[in-house]
Homo-oligomer: A and B are copies of this chain.
Amino acid sequence: MNAASFYSKVPRHLVAVDCIIFGFDEGKLKLLVIKRKVAPMAGEWSLVGGFVQTDESTDDAAARVLKLTTGLDDIYMDQLHCYGEVARDTGARVISVAYYALIRIKDHDKPLAQEHGAHWLELENMPELIFDHKKMIEDALVKLRDNAQFHPIGFELLPEKFTLSQLRCLYEEIYGRTLDKRNFRKKILSLDVMEKLEEKDKTSSKKGAHLYRFDADKYDQLKRKGLVFEI
């Protein structure tokens, strides 16, 4: 059999990407979701998505969709899972590859997002979503937890400069449980991957809290030497 006859007569499918876009604001994990504009399910809440084009990889498609809605490039994104049930999309048979992204809410293009009907909703208070998007979000949260424990991805959700309280609050949100203040400080500081700045943040206390910055270069160096990041 030659290549032409091997690949011909094979069914072709619509392939979509859906993005679970995490943000962190006001001490809460949030997701960027949109009011769907097209039938079926127009007007319902949906993840941000789009179809994979002929000349782009699925990774590229996810990056394109993210940029289209947030204006952001060069963002932490990871593939979550491919959802391939025949009837998962009620409009047509669509195979969807889901990605999750971590962004700094402050950095995104707010007008652009609004133009696309996008809203930041609290993870803990998600409305009904179309198709299997709820399941995607659940799966993404599990994966986020797993990854955040052993990789320094939490910093992707915080501003460049942040306080230890903010960082702890973020991890508490991700893990869904409280963390001991002293143990958390001890552990994260012992990793020695953050730079302590002179500046203090006074927005949330009279005393002021030191700001820190994640040092990616230092992390890479230490990782090569065998550092095991764990929070």
A20 CB, nearest partner CB in chain B, Å? 15
* Residues in chain B near residue A13, CB distance under 8 A: 12-15, 52
Q: Does A230 contact B (CB under 8 A)?
A: no
Q: A13-B12, A51-B11 are in contact. Are A39 and B3 (CB under 8 A)?
A: yes
Q: A10-B51, A14-B7 are in contact. Are A58 and B91 (CB under 8 A)?
A: no
Q: What residue in chain B is nearest A84 (Cβ atoms)?
A: B58
A108 CB, nearest partner CB in chain B, Å? 25
Complex contact B11–A54 (CB within 8 A) = yes
Q: What residue in chain B is nearest A99 (Cβ atoms)?
A: B82
Task: Select one of B2, B14, B82, B94 contacting A39, CB under 8 A.
Answer: B2
* Residues in chain B near residue A61, CB distance under 8 A: 84
Complex contact A38–B82 (CB within 8 A) = no
Complex contact B3–A95 (CB within 8 A) = no
Given contacts A7-B94, A56-B86, A57-B85, 15 further A-B contacts (CB under 8 A): A1-B39, A3-B38, A3-B40, A3-B91, A6-B38, A6-B91, A11-B54, A15-B95, A52-B95, A57-B84, A58-B95, A59-B85, A82-B82, A82-B97, A84-B97
